[in-house]
A and B are shown apart, each in its own frame.
Chain A
C-alpha cells in the first residue's frame, strides 16, 4: 500500500500503517543523531515533539549566499539510538526515519512508527528536501550532529516497524 502523509502525525494515521507499506512523507522533519539525542534528553527539545518526525541523519550542508542548502542527506544507523528510544518516544514523537532498524517494542508501546530510507542514498534523499527552515545547536555540535529543521516533499519511505511492533528486520540490535 502507498500512502501520502503530512507532519505532524496523529495517532489515527499512524495506526493505519503496516510494516512494508510505502509512505510519501511531506512537511517538517528534524534531524537528530547521537549527540542531539543526548541534549534533547538532558535539556529538552528546541522544537515541539508532539507528533513530530525525527530523522537519524547527519547531512552535508553548504552555505550559499547566506542560505543553507542540503547537498546529501541519507539516514545513519538507527540502532545506535536504541538506548534513547524509550525516552524519546515517550516525549511524543510519532515517527523516526533511519536505516538498519531499531528495537520494535517501544514503537508498539508508544504507538509510533519507524520509517526506513535507503542508507547511502544521500544524493537521492536530498532531492526530497525542499529547504532548510532552521538549525539548532550548530555551533556546539557541528554540521553532522546539529538538529536541522527540514521541509520535505514526498520523501519515499518504507514502514520498517509499525505501531503494533511488527518489524521487517530480523536483527534490530
Chain B
C-alpha cells in the first residue's frame, strides 16, 4: 500500500493533469500580451519537463494534503495512516519533494508531515485524494462569514475582492474552490475539496453551475492575467461546493490553487488491488 501511495504522490507532483494542461494551452492561444505569453510558454515548458524527466514541476511541492474516504469494511483501516506517513517520507527522499514542515516555535524543518482529512464511508474500499498544496496559493485562502441577506451576491463580492487583493501572488491562472454553507471550518474544507473536481466540469445543480460560470467570467474580466502581469486568463476555473447552512449564517470558504494544480487519486480494494488516476 505504501508503494501505491508513493506512486500516486509522484504522479501528482510530476504530471499536471490533462484537463489542467488543456485549459493552459487554451489560455496560451487566447493571449496576445507578450509578457503573458512568456509566462504561459514557460508554464507549458515546465509541465513538459516535469512529465519527461519525472521531476516536480514546481519546487514547492506543498503541504501534502490527503482526503481519505475509508470504507468501514476495508481490511486496511489499521494500516492506512502509517502507510501515508511512510510513503510521504519515502517520496520526500526519493522523488524528491521539498521538506516543507516547520516547527512553528523553533522554525526547525522536520521534513514533510501529511495533513489527513478522514471520512468514514460504507463499503470495503479506501479512496484517497492527494492534493499537494503550495504556500503561495494557500496564503490567499479566505473565509467570509456572510449574512443570509448578502447570500450569493456577497460570496461573489468576497471572491472578486480576494482575487484582486492577491493579484499575482497565488500564481495565476488559478483554480478557485469555494465552499458555501456548513460552518466556518466545513466551508473551507469544502472549498479545498472542490479543487479535486476536473477543470471544465460544472456543478450538477444548474443554479450552482451558473454561479460558477458567472464568477469565472467576472474574474477573467479583471485583467490580472498569468502571474499578475496582465492578460486575459486569471482563472482556469471556479468550483463551488455547497452544504446546508444555519439560518443565521452564510459562510463562504475561498481556496486558491495555483496553475500547477497537483492532484492524484487512488483506490484500494478489499483484495489489495490498487487503482491510481488523476
Interface residues of A (CB under 8 A from B): 20, 22, 35, 57-60, 62, 71-74, 76-77, 79, 99-101, 116-127, 141-145, 156, 158, 160, 168-172
Known contacts A20-B35, A121-B45, A142-B108: A72-B57 contact under CB 8 Å? yes
| Contact yes or no, A99 B58, CB < 8 A | no
- Are B55 and A123 closer than 8 Å at their CB atoms? yes
Q: Is the CB of B228 within 8 A of A100?
A: yes
Shortest beta-carbon distance from B35 to chain A in Å: 6
Residue in chain A with minimal CB distance to B53:
A123
Residues of A within 8 A of B45 (CB): 121, 124
Task: Please name 5 pairs of A and B residues whose Cβ atoms are closer than 8 Å in the assembled complex, sorted by A.
Answer: A71-B96, A74-B46, A121-B57, A126-B55, A144-B100
Q: Is the CB of B167 within 8 A of A101?
A: yes
Q: How distant is the Cα of A122 from the Cα of B260 in the complex, in angstroms? A: 10
* Residues A120 and B56 in contact in the complex (CB < 8 Å), given A99-B171, A144-B98, A169-B228: no
Q: Which residues of B contact A35 (CB under 8 A)?
A: 107
**Complex: how many Å from CA A33 to CA B272?**
44
Does B122 count as interface, using CB distance less than 8 angstroms? Answer: no
**B229 interfacial by beta-carbon distance below 8 Å:** yes
Indicate whether A116 sits within 8 Å of B57 (C-beta atoms), given known contacts A142-B99, A158-B35. Answer: no
Contact of A121 among B43, B97, B230 (CB under 8 A): B43
CB distance from A148 to the nearest CB of B (A): 11
Interface on B for A, CB 8 Å cutoff? 34-35, 38-39, 42-43, 45-46, 49-50, 53, 55-61, 96-100, 102, 107-109, 134-136, 139, 164-169, 171, 223-224, 226-230, 258-260
Q: CB-nearest residue of chain A relative to B93?
A: A62
Contact B167 A118 (CB under 8 A): no
Query: In the complex, what's the smallest C-beta–C-beta distance from A58 to chain B, in angstroms?
Result: 7
Expressed in whole angstroms, the minimum distance between the Cβ of B93 and any Cβ of chain A is: 9
Question: Which residues of the other chain, A, contact B135 by a CB distance below 8 angstroms?
Answer: 76-77
Instruction: Please name all residues of chain A whose beta carbon is closer than 8 Å to the beta carbon of B100 when the two chains form the complex.
Output: 144
Q: Is the CB of B136 within 8 A of A118?
A: no
Across-interface contacts of B55 in A (CB, < 8 A): 71-72, 123, 126
The distance in angstroms between the C-alpha atoms of A32 and B42, with both chains bound, is 23
Do A142 and B43 form a contact, CB below 8 Å, given A74-B59, A119-B258, A123-B57? no
Bound state CA distance, A169 and B230, in angstroms? 8
Given known pairs A100-B168, A123-B53, the reply for A116 and B227 (CB within 8 Å) is: yes
Q: How far is the CB of B268 from chain A (nearest CB, A)?
A: 28
Partner of A60, one of B35, B56, B164, B227: B56
- Tell whether, in the assembled complex, residue B46 and residue A101 are in contact, meaning their CB atoms are under 8 Å apart: no
* Contacting residues, chain B, for A76 (C-beta < 8 A): 60, 135-136
**Alpha-carbon gap, A60 to B230, bound state (A):** 29
A158 contact set on B, CB distance < 8 A: 35, 38, 229
Contact (A120, B259) CB under 8 Å given A100-B227, A143-B98: yes
In the complex, how many angstroms separate the beta carbon of A123 from the nearest chain B beta carbon?
Answer: 4
Q: Which of A72, A99, A125 has the most CB of B within 10 A?
A: A72
Q: Within the assembled complex, what's the spacing in Å between the Cα atoms of A119 and B60? A: 10
**How many Å from the CB of A36 to the closest CB on chain B?**
12
Beyond the given A74-B59, A169-B168, could you list 17 further A-B residue pairs with CB under 8 A, ordered by the A residue number?
A59-B98, A72-B57, A99-B171, A117-B42, A118-B42, A118-B226, A119-B171, A123-B53, A123-B57, A125-B59, A141-B109, A142-B102, A142-B108, A156-B38, A158-B229, A160-B229, A169-B229
